[in-house]
Amino acid sequence: MNREVLAVRHVYFEDLGSFERVLGERGRLVRYLDIGFARLHALNPVSASLMVILGGPINACDDARYPTLGPLAALIEKRIAAGLPTLGICLGAQLIARVLGARVYAAPQAEIGWSPLTLTDAGRASPARHLDGEATSMLHWHGDTFDLPQGATRLASTSVCENQAFAWGKHVLALQCHPEVRADRFEPWLIGHAAEIAHAGVDINALRADTARLGPRLEEQASRMFGEWLDAVDAPAHS
C-alpha cells in the first residue's frame, strides 16, 4: 500500500495538527506541499494515498489575486475524478466545493470561536458522529461559506453556517470547521490572524482560554473521527 500523504499547506501554522499524530500511528508518511513555494504544475495529484488540503485566509475563488488557486483546483479535480481519498479543511473544503461546482461566497458573518456542531442523520451514521455537539465543541474560523455541491451529503451544520461538513461519495470529506486544531499549538493562530481577530471583534483572551479548555476533548474526538474515516477509505471495495 502507498503510505504517502500529501498535505497542501497555505500558512505554516494551519497544519495537520492532531491528524498528523493519527497518521504517524498508522505508519503513514506526511509530505507538506507549501503553497507559494511549490511548483503546482509539476505535481502528480494521484501519486499519494491521501491528499489533505488545509486552511488559509483567502477566498477559494479569488484567482485574480492568488494565481495558485486555479492550478490547485485543477489538481483537486483530477484527484477526485480518480476516486482517491481527499480531505479538505476550511479553505480546503471550500476548494472542494468549488471543484464540485458549488458556489463559494462570503458568509453573513465571520464565524471565529468555539461552538458545537449539529449533525444530520447522515452525519450521525458516519465517522463525523464523533464530532457531534454532545461529544465535543468545535473550533470555527472562516468568513466564507459554500452551497452544498450536487450529489454531496451534508453531515453537519451550525446556526451560522449550514454546510459545516459534507461527504461526496466514499472518498471525499470536506470540513469547513477545524477539528484538527491542537490546543498546545494554538498561539501561532492568534499571532498570524491578529488582524482578522481584531476586525471580527473577537476577544483574543477568551478565545485562548476556550481553546485551552475545549481543545483537548476535541483532539480526542477528532482523532477518533479521522481514524475511522481512514479505515473506511482504505478498505478494499467489495466485488
Set out the domains of the chain in order of their start, with CATH numbers: 4-234 (3.40.50.880)
Q: Which whole-number Å values give the CA distances from 21 to 41, 85, 104, 196, 226, in the listed order?
A: 29, 18, 31, 29, 11
Whole-number average pLDDT of the chain:
95
Give pLDDT, residue 40.
86
Under 8 Å between Cβ of 8 and 51? yes
Give pLDDT, residue 64.
97
Give pLDDT, residue 2.
78
Under 8 Å between Cβ of 200 and 121? no
This prediction has a pTM of 0.96
Give pLDDT, residue 59.
96
Write down the H helix ranges in the chain. Answer: 18-25, 69-81, 91-99, 121-124, 187-192, 194-200, 204-234
Residue-wise pLDDT tens digits, 161-198: 999 999 999 999 999 999 999 999 999 999 999 999 99
User: Smallest Cα–Cα separation from 93: which of 184, 164, 14?
Assistant: 164
Give pLDDT, residue 238.
46
Provide mean pLDDT across the span 116-145.
98
Q: What percent of the chain clears pLDDT 70, i.e. is strictly above it?
A: 97
Give pLDDT, residue 35.
95
